[in-house]
Each structure stands twice: as structure tokens, then as C-alpha cells.
Amino acid sequence: MVLFEIILGITALIFLFVLYRKRSHSYWARRNVPFMKPSLIWGNLDNPLLTKHGLKVDIKNAYEYFKRHGHKHGGIFFTSDPVWIPVDLELIKNILQKDFAHFTSHGLSADPERDPLSGNVFNLDGEDWKFVRSKLSPNFSSGKMKMMFNTLLECGVPMIDHVDQQSKRGDALDVKEILASYTTDVIGSCAFGIDCNSFKDPNSDFRRCGRKVFEPSFNNVLRMIVAFVAPFLRHVVKFKMISNDVEKFFMDLVSGLFEYRKANGIVRNDFIQLFIEMREKAKETGEKTLTLPQITAQAFVFFLGGFETSSSTMTLCLHELAFNQDIQDKLRAEVRETMKKNNGELTYDSIMEMKYMDQVVNETLRKYPIVPFVMRACTKDYRVPDSNATISKGMKVFISTLGIHRDPAYYPNPDKFDPERFSDENKSNIPNNAYIPFGEGPRICIGLRFGLMQTKMGLSMLLNKFKFSPPAGEKYDFHFDPKSFNLCKEGSVFLKIEKM
């Protein structure tokens, strides 16, 4: 009798679960929005714990499905939650720019009281976002970038020395690790005024934190699932997006730097100094400014953005150049010609004015947009233009940057690495909003100038001295890391490096 009741109870629960899911999965049909047929458990997601490609490809697949069926937009499901996928470029432009007032949020909840580092400009919404963004924007002007340029040059010297020494052994080197060490040193110095010395100490605190946040571990996969698939769990189980030891490291670091510099009268050309000056000015004028925890959150997200995105972009660029020697030779020639015109030196203006370098970096970000989708959340009901559909407040919106950048309608032969797409003669063929590696509109990546400067600097220094080629017998092979939020190659990236 007891066994029968247990079986009956389980059967009833299964029935109710199926009924609930069927009802949830009818959301788009009830609103006359085209949708992909979902599976009962994961909706339109691959099992996030066993996936072989990750969320970035799930979103790309949805984009391609709706594009293939002639739809300008459509709906999918993250388990039982509806998610909106815009496809039409004009619609995407409206969401990111013209109708931004309806989509001001990234859809990532911040909880600064319990999870201080989550209170960064990427996560914040509404007036909090406006206030923090307004305080940060002056720090990313071209003038501030020029001010930090020499610091980037200095950080490049240990990288060149390291590659020079290691390449003499004749073995292929992991450029992914080399460039992660370089960007760690750059961010450590430019943001915090700290010499990380990553090439001499690969287990420095900064390098360790970078690995911990981005390594494809079970904990990081779980954090990604919570952030994108079930954000409500953060509040139910008191789940923090950043581990306690990483949080403590950055909180102690920033507060310690403020106290040390104030006590010793130290002034440096870095972001911490800009924050110090901002707070001093606020004391004089009485205007509202950022608190120390708020500053720490912004410094942390700058560390993440500057470390991972630039190192991955440079890694993927060198990987492509190794398999495209003609492009590598042409780019190296431009770098050397530019240096020759500037007495053998690299300057901020000369790096940013290199046309072919710009084409190569643009094509790298076209083929490999490091952030593979743009996230938004609907902040007030939105009537989709030229349709009867209304997107409700709170709806998550995913724009597939990867899907757009690999769309043959915009980029013929999209899997080919071809910097000529961005030449003066050809770039007019690219439709508006078909190239959005940094997002677009008021929430465009605030650090894009710094990221591009760092990327072009690192590539220039390396290509001036070294030739990169595939290890003997290796054929072109690329698999996305399924456990990474960003778009990067799975595993290490070994290349043969020869001094020239």
C-alpha cells in the first residue's frame, strides 16, 4: 500500500511537472511569435552540464533557425523561461539605440550589499548605472589612453624577452598563456599601479585570480548557469557570482592602495589615481561620488574585461596569422614601416592609425567576437515594429553577435579569415549593425579604446620581432571552449615562434 502511494505521488508530480512545462512552453505561441520547438527539460538549450558547445552556440543556432525561416525575430526557452531573439538588423538597431529606453538593462542582477563586486557598471541598471557610467566615462577618453601608453610599452618588454628566450628551445609555445600573462601585467599596472611580474612569477595573485575567474571549471559553469538560465537562484540560495577569496583579494587591494598612496603622497598614471582624484574633487565640490566598494567593483570588472578579452583576441589573431602567412607578412611590413617613420618606436597615434592592423583586428573580432552575444532585458513593454507582437517588461533579450558575424548574407564565405572585408574599398559593403563586437548604443563597451590599444600594441611588438607558424604537421582546427562564457579556443594554443 505504501509503495503504491509513493508511485502514485511520483506519477502525480511528473504529471504536474509536464503540465507546467507544456504551459510554460506555449508562451510564444499564445503571443503569435515564431518559436523553436523546445525540449521538455532544457527548452532550447543543450544540457549546460554536458554541452559540447555552450550557450554561445545555442544562441547562434536560434539566430540561424529564425533567419533560415524568414523571421525577423523569434522566441526560445531557457528551460521554461521565454527568451527573445531579434534577427533583423534594423530591429537590432532599434533595440540597442533608437528604442534603448525599452532595453536599458543587461538583465544581470546586481546585489552590491551581499556581493560587492557584482555592483559594477556591466551589471547595474537604471539610475545606478547612469551614475556610475558618468563617473567612469572620462577615464576612458583618448587623452587618458595616451597617458597610459608608455605603461603598455613597458609591460611588453618582459613579454618579448620571455618569448625570445623560450623560442630558442625550438618547441612550440602556448601563446594563450603568454598573452594572458602580458594582459595581466598591463591591467595590474594600468589599473592598480602594481608590477605583477607574471613572466617571472606565473602564480602571482593577479594571475591566479584571472585563472580562477575564467578557468573552465565546474564552479564557473554553475555560475554561468545561474546568471543566464536561473538568476532567481542567486537570491534563493544566497549564491555569489564571485568567490569569496577573489572578492577579498580585490577589496583588500583597492582599500590598501588608497591608504598607502594617501599616506605616502604617491601619484601614478593609472585608474586608481583617477579614482583618487575623483573622490578628492568631490570632497571640494560636495558632489556625489563613488564609494570605495563601488570603486573596487569597477576596478574588478576592468580587470576582467582588459585581461580576458584582449588576450583572447590576440591569441585568436596570432592563430589565424600562423595559418595565413601572407596576411602575417603584410601586417608585419606595416608595423615595421610605421616604426621606421617614428624613429624605430611605437607611439599611440601611429598604432591607432595603422590601417591594415585595424583591418586584421576587425576581422579577428568579426570571426571571433569575444563576447558572442549582446544581452538586454526589456525594461518596459515594447511593441515590435511592423508586427502585432509585444515584448513584455522583464523579458530577456539575446542578440547573437556570433550569428551576425558569421552570416553569409553579410560576410560571404564567413569562415574565411579575410581582413580585406574591412578595407576602405570594401567596408561599405558591410550593412549597418552587422559588426557589433563591443555592443552598440549607450551601453557599448566602455573600455573598447583601451582594449583596442592593448591588442594592437601587443600584436605590433610581437610581429616586429617574431614569425608565428603552426607546429609541424598541425592542420587548422578550432573548437569553442563549451565551458567558457567568452568565445575562445578550447585548450592551449601552441604555435612555433621564430625570431626574425
Rounded alpha-carbon distances, angstroms, from residue 148 to 133, 251, 257, 445, 454? 20, 24, 18, 19, 10
488 a known binding residue?
no
* H or E element in which residue 16 lies: helix 2-24
* H or E element in which residue 28 lies: helix 27-30
Burial class (CB in 10 A: 0-12, 13-18, 19+), 300: buried
Other CB atoms within 10 A of residue 4 CB: 8
Task: Supply 141's cell numbers.
Answer: 577618453
CA-to-CA distance for 371 and 309, rounded, in angstroms?
A: 8
Rounded alpha-carbon distances, angstroms, from residue 261 to 62, 266, 330, 358, 422? 51, 5, 46, 38, 45
Nearest 5 degrees, angle CA 5-CA 8-CA 10? 110
**Identity of residue 24:** S
Q: Which of 373, 352, 376 is nearest to 451 (CA)?
A: 352
- Residue 488's φ and ψ, nearest 5 degrees, are -145, 165
Q: Which of 391, 3, 370 is nearest to 183 (CA)?
A: 370
- Residue 445's φ and ψ, nearest 5 degrees, are -50, 120
| Known binding residues | 445
| Known binding residues for heme | 445
